[in-house]
Chain A
Amino acid sequence: MLLLCLTGMPLIFGHEINHLLGNEVDPPVMSNNTPQASMDKVLASAKALYPSRVVQFVFRDMDENNSWTVSLGKTATSEDDTKFVKVDSRTAKVLQEPKFNEGFMYVMFKLHVDLFAGLPGMLFLGLMGVLLVVAIISGVVLYAPFMRKLEFGEIRKDRAPKLKRLDTHNFLGVVTLIWALVVGTTGIINAWADLVIKYWQFDQMSAMTAPYKGLPPPTQFASLQASVKAAQAREPDMRLGFIAFPGTDFSSPHHYGMFMRGDSPITSRLFKPVLIDAQTAKLTDSREVPWYLATLLISQPLHFGDYGGMPLKILWLVLDLFTIAVLWTGLVLWWKKRQHFQPEIQQRIAFDEAYVTR
Chain B
Amino acid sequence: MQIFMWPIVLGVLTMIGLVMTLLLETGWFELVSISALALPVIVMIYTYYFRDVIRH
Contact = CB atoms under 8 A, between A and B. Distances in A.
B38 to A, nearest CB: 6
A264 B38 CA distance: 22
Interface string B45-56: 001100110000
Given A148-B3, A157-B52, A315-B37, A308 B44 contact: no
Nearest to A301: B22
Given A144-B3, A266-B23, A319-B41, A311 B48 contact: no
Nearest to B5: A152
Contacts, number: 79
Contacts of B40: 175-176, 179
Given A266-B23, A315-B37, A179 B44 contact: no
B25 A265 contact: yes
A195 interface: no
A177 B18 contact: no
Q: Main SS of the interface on chain A?
A: helix
A302 interface: yes
Nearest to A176: B40
Contact of B38 (A143, A152, A175, A315): A315
Interface residues of B, number: 28
Given A143-B4, A152-B47, A179-B14, 13 more contacts: A143-B3, A152-B3, A157-B52, A168-B48, A171-B47, A178-B10, A179-B40, A182-B15, A266-B22, A307-B21, A309-B30, A312-B34, A322-B44
A171 B6 CA distance: 11
Interface of A: 143-144, 147-148, 152-153, 155, 157, 168, 171-172, 174-179, 182, 264-266, 298, 301-302, 307-309, 311-312, 315, 318-319, 322
A302 B15 CA distance: 11
A168 B45 CA distance: 12
A32 B45 CA distance: 43
Contacts of B34: 308, 311-312, 315
Closest 8 CB pairs of A and B: A153-B47, A178-B14, A178-B11, A308-B21, A152-B6, A174-B7, A311-B34, A175-B44
28 contacts: A152-B3, A152-B5, A152-B6, A152-B7, A153-B48, A155-B47, A171-B44, A174-B7, A175-B43, A176-B40, A177-B11, A178-B11, A178-B14, A179-B18, A179-B40, A182-B18, A265-B22, A298-B22, A301-B22, A302-B18, A307-B21, A307-B22, A308-B30, A309-B30, A312-B37, A315-B38, A315-B41, A318-B41
